[in-house]
Amino acid sequence: MNALAAQKLKPDITAAEQDPRWAAVVARDASADRKFWCAVTTTGIYCRPSCPSRPLPRNVRFYDTIAEARAQGFRPCKRCNPARGGDALQT
């Protein structure tokens, strides 16, 4: 395979993958919970970084507050329930 063909197989790096918060999502880092939320454009949900769901990076957007995610039309994830407990204070 030549270099040009190999380059075409390599997907573009997304904005989410360039964001340092993406590492916390990949690692399901519970210590990042309540510091930010990630939203998935294809499902219309927002999640905790520790959520067991595995979105594709090209579909992820990051928000500092639940209110920001809701203002963009996202709803809470039913798996990780990001609005429960103390997180609701971040609205």
Compute the radius of gyration of the chain from its Cα atoms.
15
Cβ–Cβ < 8 Å for 47, 39: yes
Per-residue b/e over 16-38, b at no fewer than 16 CB within 10 Å?
beebebbebbeebeeebbbebbb
Which is the catalytic residue, given 47, 51, 77, 80?
47
CA distance 23 to 43: 21
- Respond yes or no: is residue 77 known to be catalytic: no
Q: What positions carry a catalytic annotation?
A: 47
